[in-house]
Amino acid sequence: MADVLRIEGLSVSYRDRERTVRALGGVDLTLRAGQILGIVGESGCGKSTLAHSVLQLLPANGRIEGGRVFFEGADLTRSDGETLRSVRGRRIAMIFQDPVSGLNPVLTIGRQIEEMIRTHVSVSKSEARRLALEALHAQGLPDPSRVADAYPYQLSGGMCQRVMIAIATVMQPAIIIADEPTSALDVTMQAAILQELRDLRTRTGMAVLLITHDLGVIANIADDVAVMYAGRIVEEANVRELFARPRHPYTAALMAARPRLDDPGRKLAPIHGAPPDLSELTGKCAFLDRCAKAVSQCRTELWPDLERTSDNQRVACFNPMYVGA
């Protein structure tokens, strides 16, 4: 499948009054048409920063220090406002964790979808209405015209999330970036939304960048997964391969800490310690203090670049697991 998004060496920092947080330290990532790529990692590892950087939606104190984001022939880090506005929503759409903050509370659902459509294409009001109802129907929302006339507060969290997906997909974008789209939902609704994303991919061939801190979600829906730690990708692999054979000690620790449905009595092994302060990264591996496999090189050098360990797996570690296995 063709590449639809290529991120190269992306570095981002946030400046506070007295410090600089290096939120991304050189991220390389490729998304293919029709691929569901999961991004997983603990809180603060830079997942949302990565999502926002793609669409140049960083807050005012955030800055792209280096790297490129290639999409449909353009480098989005150097694109003008007009290009970005035509990409956002139309070619690359975002779904957030909290649908309430993604929806406008004072406009009906129908109006919001219609406005989204009419921002990007010139169609009549009635045609926009028809497309909006079609989008709601495609999301399996019962009685689309009732939903269209409702305000966000009149709908449940799960319905709001479906509406968000309807808005995100109405322009048939090439990519959907979903940042923790199911974290605020109960388990049943979570499963329904994930199924919806999977169906969409199958129906339309769009690519999905799915951000989550939940390995269970990844196992359920993603084809491939990139594991982030301290602003970098430490491992990237096909999901099956990653679960069978995590190569980075951080991935292995995440796996060990994961609750398992098939083994509910199993004790969880919380990862001891905490991620490092991103304003104080020094010349040693960022995972060193939490790693059981550290060797002397890890104490004197930042971790190595991602290296391929198989057709479907890359790891950035001086002493990865399962070597030679």
Residue 118 interaction partner, one of ligand ATP, Mg ion, none, beta carbon < 5-8 Å per kind? none
43 binds ligand ATP (CB under 6 A): yes
Q: Which does 213 bind (CB under 5 to 8 A by kind): ligand ATP, Mg ion, none?
A: ligand ATP
Closer to ligand ATP by Cβ: residue 61 or 156 = 61
Residue 214, interface with ligand ATP (CB under 6 A)? no
23 touches ligand ATP by CB under 6 A: yes
In the 3-class helix/strand/coil scheme, how is 89-149 assigned residue by residue?
CCCEEEECCCHHHHCCCCCCHHHHHHHHHHHHCCCCHHHHHHHHHHHHHHCCCCCHHHHHC
**Token reading at 280:** 């104080």
By CB neighbour count within 10 A (0-12 exposed, 13-18 middle, 19+ buried), where does 175 fall?
Answer: buried
| Secondary structure class of 236 (helix, strand, coil) | strand
Contact between 63 and ligand ATP (CB under 6 A)? no
Residue 47 binding ligand ATP, by CB under 6 A: yes
Is 12 strand, coil or helix?
Answer: strand
Cα(91)–Cα(85) distance, integer angstroms: 10
Cα–Cα distance, 253 to 292 (Å, whole number): 10
156-185: contacts with Mg ion (CB under 5 A): none
To the nearest whole angstrom, how small is the minimum distance from the Cβ of residue 45 to ligand ATP? 4
Can residue 35 be called a binding residue for Mg ion (CB under 5 A)? no
Single-letter code of the amino acid located at 169: T
**How many residues bind Mg ion, per CB under 5 A?**
2
> Would you call 294 helix, strand, or coil by DSSP?
coil
Q: Specify the length of the chain in residues.
A: 325
CB of 92 or CB of 135, closer to Mg ion: 92
Any idea what DSSP says for residue 257?
T
x-or-dash pattern for ligand ATP, window 264-303, by CB under 6 A?
Answer: --------------x-------------------------
Q: Which of 32, 68, 213, 284 binds ligand ATP (CB under 6 A)?
A: 213
> By CB neighbour count within 10 A (0-12 exposed, 13-18 middle, 19+ buried), where does 267 fall?
exposed
What minimum distance in Å lies between the beta carbon of 43 and Mg ion?
7
Buried b (16+ CB within 10 A) or exposed e, 294-323: beeebeeebbeebeebeeebbbbbeebbee
- Residue range at the interface with ligand ATP (CB under 6 A); choices 39-47, 68-76, 189-197, 242-250: 39-47
Q: How far is the CB of 44 from ligand ATP (least distance, A)?
A: 4
Q: How far is CA 78 from CA 75, 82, 130, 166, in A?
A: 6, 12, 36, 30
Report if residue 10 touches ligand ATP, rule: CB under 6 A.
no
Least CB distance from residue 58 to Mg ion, whole Å?
A: 13
Strand partners, 8: 68
Among 35, 48, 190, 313, binds Mg ion (CB under 5 A): 48
Listing DSSP states for 163-215 in one string gives HHHHHHHTT--SEEEEESTTTTS-HHHHHHHHHHHHHHHHHH--EEEEEES-H
How far apart are CB 178 and ligand ATP at their closest, in Å?
13
Among 11, 35, 48, 139, the residue binding ligand ATP under the rule CB under 6 A is 48
Q: Residue 96 Cβ, how far from ligand ATP at the closest point, in Å?
A: 11
Q: How many residues bind ligand ATP (CB under 6 A)?
A: 17
Q: Which is nearer to Mg ion, 231 or 320 (CB)?
A: 231
For Mg ion, the binding residues (CB under 5 A) are 47-48
For ligand ATP, the binding residues (CB under 6 A) are 14, 16, 21, 23, 41, 43-49, 59, 61-62, 213, 278
